[in-house]
Amino acid sequence: MAGRKGEIEDLIFGVRAVIEAVEARKEINKIMIQRGMDKALFKELKEALANKKYTLQFVPVEKINRLTTKNHQGVVAFISPVVYHEIENVLNDVFEAGDIPSVLVLDRITDVRNFGAIARTAECAGVHAIVIPDRNSALITSDSIKTSSGALHKIPVCKTRDLVETVEYLKNAGLRVVACTEKTNDFVFDVTLSGPTTIILGSEEDGISQELLSLAHQRAKIPLLGTIGSYNVGVSAGVILYEKMRQMILE
């Protein structure tokens, strides 16, 4: 959607437009609803959203007004330009094809361009799926697709309400879970990455959550000679996925 300068793309607004998108089963990243919106309109919207697994965010009207100057009626929806997948279906397809599964889990990575760059690297490295939480994660927008050079149209992205539960599922499915973190003495070059693997990368602010770290079979860090203390998460993705490819080629 094009609009005034600063208008966000992939945005629809107004109760009827959002309900129509829901009824058409459009992929929706999230729906913002004005706190205290008109009761009759909210009732209609609530009925349309019943038993649907959309991410809802209740916000002050000022936040919606910053997104669009048009008559939004207290609700806006961010439409995803890609279709999200179920990790169970992707993994089943990988096993049926006789491939060695490679899954990348992104824990609360919120920068759209980091996300796009990671997706580009993941596609080049043969990753079968990217898993993200449905909250506190970068949305798939035209900007992230552009940054990914179109990779987000090629690699399945799976949204989950419970990242811990999904990693436990991957672990039980036989994938080795490796957390890329500086909280270890093991370098990435000394960690086994060549088999069925789930690699976890953490947020730009505070890395991987403790719950996810506790699920990892092993932790892996990238050597540092400087004083800043950590790499950009996109760079970390490139290093660990390259090392995974190197190990697979040498097997």
pLDDT digits (tens, 9 = 90+) for 123-143: 999 999 999 998 888 888 888
CA angle 53, 55, 57 (to 5 degrees): 145
Statement to judge: residues 221 and 149 lie in one domain: yes
Supply 55's token pair. Answer: 């991410």
User: Could you give the CA distance from residue 121 to residue 225 in angstroms, rounded to a whole number?
Assistant: 24
Q: For residues 200 and 236, state if they share a domain.
A: yes
pLDDT band for 9, please (50, 70, 90 cuts).
low
Residues 150, 175 share a domain: yes
**Is residue 119 domain-shared with residue 194, that is, in the same domain?**
yes
Q: Are residues 63 and 145 in the same domain?
A: no
Alpha carbon 128 to chain centroid, angstroms:
14
- Read off the CATH number of the domain in which 43 is found: 3.30.1330.30
Residue 5 has pLDDT above 70, yes or no: no
Comparing CA positions, the residue from 179, 172, 196 lying closest to residue 247 is 196
Asked if residues 11 and 61 have their Cβ atoms less than 8 Å apart, the reply is no
- Domain with 107 in it: 87-250
133 and 75 assigned to the same domain: no
Enter the pTM of the model.
0.83
Task: Please report which confidence band the pLDDT of residue 251 belongs to, taking 50, 70 and 90 as the band edges.
Answer: confident
Q: How far apart are CA 33 and CA 57, in angstroms?
A: 6
pLDDT digits (tens, 9 = 90+) for 32-72: 999 988 888 888 898 888 888 788 889 999 999 999 888 99
Cα 33 to Cα 42: distance, rounded to the nearest angstrom? 9
Q: Number of structural domains, the chain?
A: 2
Question: Which positions ≥6 away from 167 have C-beta within 8 Å?
Answer: 105, 177, 198, 200, 212, 215
Q: What amino acid is encoded at 4 in this protein?
A: R
Q: What is the CATH number of the domain that holds 198?
A: 3.40.1280.10
Q: Work out the percent of the chain whose per-residue pLDDT is above 90.
A: 62
Query: Is residue 168 domain-shared with residue 131, that is, in the same domain?
Result: yes
